[in-house]
Amino acid sequence: MKLKIDKFVFFIIIAIALAYLFPQWGTQENKFPINAISSIGISLIFFFYGLKLSPEKLKQGLKNWKLHLLVQGATFLLFPLLVLLLHPFIQNEEQEKIWLGFFFLAALPSTVSSSVLMVSLAKGNIPAAIFNASISGIIGIALTPLWMGLFVSDLQTDFDFTEIYIKLIVQIIIPVIIGLLLHRFFGSFVQKHKSKITLFDKSIILLIIYKSFSESFKKNIFSTVSIVDLLLLLIGVICLFSIVFYLTKLVSTKLQLNTEDQITAQFCGTKKSLVHGTVFSKILFGNMASIGIILLPLMLFHAIQILIISVVATKLSVRKLEEL
């Protein structure tokens, strides 16, 4: 069995390493307009996202409502509620920041490209995967800030819901709507050049990651994070993923979904979007010094979800071939 490693994970590590070695390039004092570039990049990411969405396919996808409710319920309810159970055990401010990182991860929407790719590899319900991954991003624009607003205001004194939603509307919602309206004219163009657009998306994500970690390294935020802490974070991420993966399988079985729908439920309901995470972190947390720590669980989860789902998808694809 040949397992394809996601190269993007290595580029994330490189971006973090550069932020550690050269933090001055990503801080506010630097004259290079990194904030303006990342803001424009965010708008373009979601403009292209809107261009790729097909209104007709979204309408057709509404029929399989049990599967959709399960995927979106796991993404926006099960994940946050599981992390909320740990909140009473927080004992200090450092633990609060790490917990906030886990909660931010839990509140994010599902991925699009990797979810659909893995469902396709495992021979799951591809149209349902496209629908759920796409609609998840739209739902997340509204729900993720609402979840985070319950706790971010305690750590960030300038947290303003009005300002947050204005930024979301200007940088995300309006570009998505414009993209949707122009889908009939440029949808095929986007599909033709999707590899270049994906490269652009990842470049902006890496820029945001670099800037976020530069601020944290410059202010020495990671001085209290040890190797043991990183190992505990990794264990926590694996446990969170495994619990949701098992529960979505259990519920999909109880709902008597067929094998293809069960695969889609597990693969889409357990994924979290690094694209939305890095974009939302810039809007929700602004220039918080601890943003690097808050993003750590998401970075680890991104690597873990790709690794585990790749192995599972490869095994399922082999099984399906043997059945044919």
What digits encode the pLDDT tens for the residues 108-118? 998 866 677 67
Residues 6 or more apart in contact with residue 52 via CB below 8 angstroms: 179, 183, 187, 190, 191, 194
pLDDT per residue as tens digits for the range 290-302: 677 888 898 888 8
DSSP three-state, residue 145: helix
pLDDT for residue 286: 67
Over residues 174-180, mean pLDDT: 86
- 62 — pLDDT class (breaks 50, 70, 90): low
Q: What are the tens digits of pLDDT across the range 183-192?
A: 888 888 888 8
What is the SS3 assignment for 64? Answer: coil
Question: How does DSSP classify residue 111?
Answer: -
Give the mean pLDDT of 70-95: 92
pLDDT at 77 over 90: yes
Q: Say how many C-beta atoms besides its own lie within 10 A of residue 20's C-beta.
A: 14
Q: What is the CA radius of gyration of the chain?
A: 19
- Domain 7-323 listed as CATH 3.40.80.10: no
Structure tokens of 179?
Answer: 């993209």
Whole-prediction pTM:
0.74
